[in-house]
């Protein structure tokens, strides 16, 4: 009888150990999943915030800014639902609510500047605009924006991309002008002109800007021609000495 009791106790302890181990394992898995979800949400918020910062720099309109910021607010709320006690997330949400109010009032803390400082910055801005394009298409599929509004915003993004390319290359050309580097200056002016020519849609100032860029490029070519001609006319010191020696 005693043996039966002992084995029963041991069996009960073993079963309890298994249950506790399984519970701990499940809890650990749940915590790991929660941490992974929070990290993923944080990365998405950071990426969207970087894209939003670019839009705030280049876009005078607030349509895309508000759409993107609404996604950020939604993701922050998801983080808070996973971890309601996180004071950092709570404060972040309150800050973003204030920012959203400013955007709805068409207020921002920065000036508009579409000129990027380098080709890498142009490529990054283009990539971010591509991500906004994908987001709009997802919202259209979910019927959160109408097809007409989606098409309007996609056209707006294409114009933003063009403005970035033209203004960035023009600004870089001007910086090379200050350093008297006419080769790089001309290269960037040509890139700006080609971006305009390749743009499929006409707009009022398109032809005028292309004309102005062409005039600047032609002016550089004329200047280079004059400099080369002057260099060919101007004798070197050795040539002058040689010419004088013919008379002695």
Domain total of the chain: 2
Helices (H), 83-181: 87-104, 119-141, 147-178
Residue 159 located in a structural domain? yes
% residues pLDDT > 70 (the chain): 83
Whether 145 and 61 map to the same domain: the answer is: no
74/162 same-domain check: no
| pLDDT tens digits, one per residue of 46-105 | 999 999 999 999 999 999 999 999 999 999 999 999 999 999 999 999 999 999 999 999
Q: Which of 160, 164, 53 is nearest to 109 (CA)?
A: 53
Are the CB atoms for 185 and 177 separated by under 8 Å?
yes
Angle, vertex CA 40, rays to CA 36 and CA 44, nearest 5: 170
Residues 93, 41: contact at Cβ < 8 Å? Answer: no
235: tokens are 């004798």
Q: Residue 80: which residues within 8 A CB-CB, separation 6 or more?
A: 86, 89, 90, 93
Q: Give the Cα separation of 25 and 108 in Å (integer).
A: 48
Q: Are residues 120 and 215 in the same domain?
A: yes
Cβ neighbours, 10 Å, residue 136:
22
Same domain, 122 and 212: yes
Burial 29-67 (b: 16+ CB within 10 A, else e): eeeeeeeeebeebeeebeebeebbebbbbbbeebebbeb
Task: Verify that 41 and 88 share a domain, yes or no.
Answer: yes
Is residue 11 included in any domain, yes or no?
A: no
How many contiguous H segments (helices) and E segments (strands) does the chain have?
A: 8, 0
75 part of a folded domain:
yes
Helix axes of 147-178 and 119-141: crossing angle, nearest 10 degrees: 180
Model confidence pLDDT, tens digit, residues 133-176: 999 999 999 999 999 999 999 999 999 999 999 999 999 999 99
Residues 205 and 146 in one domain: yes
Residue 124 and residue 97 in one domain: no
Q: What is the pTM of this model?
A: 0.78
In this prediction, residues 111-135 reach a mean pLDDT of 95
> Is residue 225 scored above 70 in pLDDT?
no
Distance between CA 160 and CA 13 in Å, rounded? 69
Q: Specify whether 180 is located in the same domain as 217.
A: yes
Residue 204: CB atoms within 10 Å: 6
* Mean per-residue pLDDT over the chain, rounded: 86
2 is a domain residue: no
| Residue 26 forms part of a structural domain | no
CA 232 from centre of chain: 49
Residue 79 domain boundaries: 36-104
| HSE-CB for 94 with a 13 A CA cutoff | 6
């Amino acid at each position: 009888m005693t043996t039966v009791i002992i084995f029963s106790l041991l069996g009960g302890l073993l079963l309890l150990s298994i249950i506790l181990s399984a519970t701990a394992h499940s809890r650990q898995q749940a915590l790991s999943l929660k941490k992974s979800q929070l990290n993923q949400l944080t990365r998405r918020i950071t990426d969207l915030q970087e894209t939003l910062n670019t839009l705030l720099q280049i876009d005078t309109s607030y349509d895309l800014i508000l759409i993107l910021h609404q996604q950020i607010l939604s993701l922050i709320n998801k983080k808070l639902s996973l971890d309601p006690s996180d004071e950092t997330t709570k404060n972040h949400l309150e800050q973003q609510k204030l920012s959203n109010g400013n955007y709805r009032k068409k207020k921002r803390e920065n000036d508009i500047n579409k000129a990027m400082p380098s080709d890498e910055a142009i490529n990054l801005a283009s990539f971010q605009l591509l991500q906004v394009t994908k987001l709009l298409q997802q919202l259209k599929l979910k019927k959160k924006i109408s097809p007409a509004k989606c098409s309007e915003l996609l056209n707006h993004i294409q114009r933003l991309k063009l403005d970035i390319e033209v203004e960035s290359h023009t600004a870089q050309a001007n910086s090379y002008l200050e350093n008297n580097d006419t080769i790089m200056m001309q290269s960037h002016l040509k890139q700006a002109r080609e971006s305009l020519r390749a743009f499929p849609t006409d707009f009022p100032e398109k032809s005028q800007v292309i004309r102005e860029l062409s005039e600047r490029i032609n002016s550089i070519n004329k200047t280079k021609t004059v400099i080369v001609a002057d260099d060919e006319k101007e004798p070197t010191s050795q040539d002058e000495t040689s010419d004088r020696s013919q008379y002695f």
